[in-house]
Structure 1
Amino acid sequence: MVRHPYRLEPRGKKGILWIRFTTPNGREVFRSSGTVDRDLATEWASKIHAEQYRVARLGEKPRRLWTEAVVAWFEDHKTKRSIKKDQHNLKWLSPYLGHLHLDEINADVLALVSSQRKAEPKNKRRRKDGSTFTDELTSQSTVDKMMALIRSILRDAQRRGWSDSVPTIRIKEADGADDYRWLTQNEAVRLHDELADHLRPPFLFALATGWREQNVLRLRWEQVDLERRVAWIKGRQAKAKKAIGAPLNRNAMDILVQQRAKRVAGNPWVFPSGSEKDSAPYVRASNTGWYAAQRRARVEPLAWHDLRHTWASWHVMAGTSLRSLMELGGWRSYQSVLRYAHLSPEHLAGHAERIEQVARTVGIDRATDQTLSATARC
């Protein structure tokens, strides 16, 4: 019987085999083989053990694993605002990259990862009988964000000297003005009429303020001052981690007055999920009822966040300056609101008129004079 210097241990519900051994310099190695096939796991374990021996005894440069690069990257980025989304992507990537060395992650591997993510259902919805279904695949934007995360981790590993090169990862740039969806007024009316009663107030409040979904649903009465006609988002609730004060227009005020009339004493939420004192707000507004209402209203699919785009688009078309819109929406940079600029070119009219005289000097006046002369001769 062949005696190996390592052990293979099945772990988890699927019985994935893990390799365990001690290197010549006394360091314990415990890694997943990524397979339940004992022959493949044994072959892989023998290769890993030999590599560790050459590193310890012959002084060769160690080959780093994807998981090591992830741990190092995560340590430097754990305060990132979108770290939870990154963790979700990393968990999804683990079966594909978790057992690979950095030099094994090439263009073919990344193409497979990208295609697999693209083919996945976007959101699973639940029918009344308990079964789930989906009618939409993962968007290219979601895939691109995952690929950008992979690129960031590989580049970080290269800077640490763990890899010699990074495979080319091309990510399609957003199209700017076309990179969002917004409702026309007719679409908004149709969608409102099809929404369930409990979704209509937060829907109208989002259109009136441009607030994000959780900022609307988690709004407390302590954040509202009806006499001053203002409401505010606390710093920890804002995406930019900076408190936002918002003046309330008449539409927003009407919604808040209606909600106050229905308020149960002691309930702190503006949009509670029930009529009891301890009723909490809804976890999400973009639920199955939200998407069902869109189908009944014959509205192209849109996310709840698109109501923020709708609010901004309506503002620009009504003449609100981009600078004012940036302050109202709580954006940190002017670049964020430039996507809406194409909806209101009127503010450039004065600049367009500046070269009128130059154009007339070049030939427009002379062409007009020649036309009038020809007409007179006729």
Structure 2
Amino acid sequence: MRILLAQNMFHLPSHGGANKSNRIMMEQLAARGHECHVVAPMSGALRDTSIDDHVTYLKGLGAEVTSATPDVLKYRYNGVQAHVVTRASSLARQIGEVAGEVSPDWTLVPSDDPGLIVLGAALKATPERVVYLAHTLQQLPFGPGAFYPSAAGTRMVKRAASIVAVSQAAGAYLKKWGEISSTLIYPHIYGDPPELAAGDLVTMINPCGYKGLSVLLGLADARPEAGFLAVPTWGTTPEDLDELRKRPNIEIGQPSDDIDDILSRAKVLLMPSLWDETFGYACVEAMARGVPVIASAVGGLSEAKLGVPYSVPVRGIERYESVGQARPVPVVPSQDLGPWLNALDPVVGDDSLHRHLARRSRKAALGFIASLDEAALETHLAALRPNRRLAALAALAAARAKESQS
């Protein structure tokens, strides 16, 4: 099969759960003999990075850079051909151009797509062959948590030949709020995780308002003798960094494409998310390495805990504001730190309990990973049939447009 992943998030680096899982799924398909292409923007964490700097970074990873112009950067990494636009305004056009060149059997479109720019371009280029990947619930155009609710956007999602939910929580959300049936496919992104020796830091990845930065700050203030590690990624703002720097017991680390660089220093992974998580890839990754996880009891994050303590109730985000930001700003409700301290203190302070949780976490996570089918997406795509009705409608619309121009 020829498969195109068209996404409105960067391909490399892949520090977020959605783009990391997308990248690995495409690499798995390429390893199984399929022709795989990615169209993505060079934005987000790379907004202050020059093309030359990014080329240097890619070559350091072992990528083969085949072309670098002011408009498009092309490289091959782990069997996948990437087409990266340097300006977000060029993304839709590049999707159409690559689709025209490649003639993909399927175009995969993740839900992380503000304004549905990518979905619109994919439906135009390959109208009957779009597969929609429901990753981030807040980026879906319907439901109580939607950043950008849109009836027209919902109709666009329903035009996809298939909807893939990456968790039970995502499937339930699609059904309840969009009246959309989906296929559950847990991305198998975990490889063969090593067992790590316990580190000494309470660690949080992507500290920001969405992910519960206020809980981390509160715990650091309440336990000044404890050491904390905060690893900023896509959600962390300059203001968030200022708050982290005010705490002498919080070390600010660097994101890494290899999560072992981070988890090797963790005694416990803190995941105090305050929005509905679709899943919690980092939760499973940490548990598989024997790192206990203390997480919010929200959405798919509870699902990712696999029944292992501790899941902590929180007051979730109910409202967002837009104040000139690229994404809505959460109005973060105050949190009760008592349950967090009641979980954190024994896990950090009782070595026997820590060892028990580490063993139980690793066993549960390795069992979950063993249950996954790396070929699940391939099998789904191979059995899928194009939405011929949409192809016919698109052809009719194109013919009418041509007639009106003549």
TM-score range, shorter chain: under 0.3
State which structure, 1 or 2, has the greater radius of gyration over its C-alpha atoms: 1
Structure with the bigger percentage of strand? 2
Q: Give TM-score scaled by structure 1 length.
A: 0.22
Q: Give TM-score scaled by structure 2 length.
A: 0.21
Structure number with the bigger relative contact order (C-alpha 8 A, sep ≥ 6) is: 2
Structure with the bigger percentage of helix? 1
